[in-house]
Structure 1
Amino acid sequence: MRRRLINSTLAVVLVVIAVFGVSLVIVETRTISESAQERVQSEAVKLASIVDGRLMGDNHVTADYVRPHVGDDRYALIEMPDQGRVVVGTAPSGDVIRGQAKGEKGETVTVLESRSAVTREVGRTLLIIALVALLAIIAAVLLAVRQANRLASPLTDLAETAERLGSGDPRPRHRRYGVPELDRVADVLDSSAERIGRMLTAERRLAADASHQLRTPLTALSMRLEEITVTDDLTTVRDEATIALAQVERLTDVVERLLTNSRDPRTGSAVSFDLDEVIKQQLEEWRPAYRSSGRAIVSSGKRHLRAVGTPGAVAQVLAALIENSLMHGGGTVALRTRVTGNQAVIEVTDEGPGVPAHLGSRIFERTISGRNSTGIGLAVARDLAEADGGRLEMLQLKPPVFGLFLSRTAVNRDSEESGARQVR
């Protein structure tokens, strides 16, 4: 492109120089020739007037008298009826410019000048025109190179930006070039880079969430299958297989939930469900892991609470909290249920050292972890809780207490109020 721009600019300049240069040469040549002819003719008229003045005084006209009035490079011939001829200078050879005038006494004055002088002057003029044309071509080349670089460099830069986008580097460059059309292309590329960056971030986040959220159900399912392989009791096999099937269903629900949240985190399938069932399920799944670690997991608090949310999502939130206590906590892990206003609260606590003070306000941020873990479990748990209209909070640092707040159903409140009136 740079070469084409330079060539096209030079072609335009050369055409302009050719058209105007040839015209200028023709005009200047004609002007110089006409000017030389006018000079010679003017000198002939002037010389005739001088001779007339000399003759009116009855004086002789001699070459010495006429010579000061004739140019060095000119030849003058004066023909007088009474005094004959007077010659000044050497007659030029070849092509000449002739000027002739007649005086009042009948004399004829002829002035000749070699045309070579005109040719030399025309040559000097052509040389000047050629130098000007050369300077114009050099200036055009410099201007063409500058313009080509100004246009080609941004296009090369934009091509590199597009190539970077295609190779997976979505960082916008925010470069502008002072050319409206190119700046518009740069704006579009930067907007595309930002969109691609957001898409890649969402994809990476989905992959990280999926790997973290699927790990727990898969671990629990693996433990159930191990129980089946080491027992010969058909009843135990049947019970463990039933639990394993339930865990497979939960695994499916986890996958669907992750995909739903990746499309729109606000999308949910909230229903009214029994918290006791979800808590019981989590106790059954995690008790073997705690038993193998020499620890216990228990539940307490208000029973028969119903809440609004997605059972699978609530189970994932509790699983993240229980796993967090298993990895970072100590002693017995307790799940307590209580009611506050129009909300049902599930608290998860343990007897460990708690959360460091410098991590307390950032515990739900991604990549924030007290030990060598992924640091996304609590962040994903909070996202799941908020997608269901609830919230997950850190209620206490030492000992650690996490609280999952869920809305209660209107039916549940009415039944409790009815039961309270019957007690009274």
Structure 2
Amino acid sequence: MRRRITLLVAATTSIVLLAFLLPAASLVARVAEARALDAAQAQLQFLTPSVGLDDPEQVAASLIGTSNDLRTGVRLADGTWLGDPQQPDIEVPASAEEIRSDAGILLLQPVRREGDTALIEVFVPSEVLRAGVTRTWLVLGGLGLVLLLLALLVADRLARSLTRPVTELANTAHRLGAGDLSARVQPAGPREVREVGTAVNQLARRIGELLAAEREGAADLAHRLRTPLTALRLDVEGLPPGDRDRLMDDVDALSRGIDEVINEARRPVREGVGAECDATAVVVERAEFWTALAADEGRNLQIEWQATPLPVRVPAADLTAAVDALLGNVFAHTPEGTGMLVDVRARDGGGASIAVSDEGPGMPEDAVERGRSGGGSTGLGLDIARRTAESSGGSMRIDTSPRGTTVTLDLGPPA
């Protein structure tokens, strides 16, 4: 925007200067030519009286007082030339005549006497016709250049005063988009820009208020659900062993569902498209965290990874939640002792591919749909993983069969 304003002012100023300087330059050339011709006409009028007397000595004396810049010649009635004629062999015209050529302008003035005619010839060279024109043009060009530079300087200052508030507004918007809800813009610049800045600040405050209200609502939800859930757990524990085990599994599934809902609602603001993390470090750390539970259940948990970092366009917190969701699903929906494999490797074109495989009985093809529940699941885990992959520019794939299931997250590289 700043560059466009400067270019606009430069173009407008150039047009105005050309509209002024071109006619001025033409006028200067015409004035110089008119001045030289006036001097030649004055010289003709000065010589006419002495030539009319046909006195060679007086004519010669008059020629001494003429301008050296003009070539002046006088042909007497007897054909004798005095001075420095330009065209000695020219015919005497019937009246005053002006002959133009590339070399200059030749003025002819016949002087009639009784029975004969004398001729006065004054030649104005082209350099005399243009005397002072080049210097004046240079002065006009220098003046135009100075005016253009001044206009550009003023335009740059004006553009800077206009674009600085817009740039600050854009930076604040980027910070808000990246999750920094404390970012505020100082309204400045034109009235319209100040109104936009004020609106952005109000929007940021409103977003903060809504998130705070959401967190408070999640806290209230946790408080309201924990108490009846605890009472339900106590009631189930008092049942006979067969019914107690079956209902206790349902209570545990409900408890996990509530935890997932609350954790998702109370997560911090996402870090935006500019966030990134090392997929290798996050996946290995989370797999090792689940190793202890795998050992308790007799599961063989294997981890395969590359020794080099794999940066992906996902915040570490989001990737942690996605990996925990995938591993948690394996533990929740496969029998104890089922083996599992976590594999993280580089993708073609950048990013990383994370695959979690198990040797369980498989899962329905529509298990990734949000809210789809089955076997004690709320249906949120896989949806969290899917949205995490898609937010990075990647995708999630599920390959299932009676011999096991593989869930693969394809994560995009940093922007």
TM-score, normalised by the number of residues in structure 1:
0.44
Q: Counting helix residues as a fraction of each chain, which structure ranks higher?
A: 1
Q: Larger Cα Rg: Structure 1 or Structure 2?
A: 1
TM-score, normalised by the number of residues in structure 2:
0.44
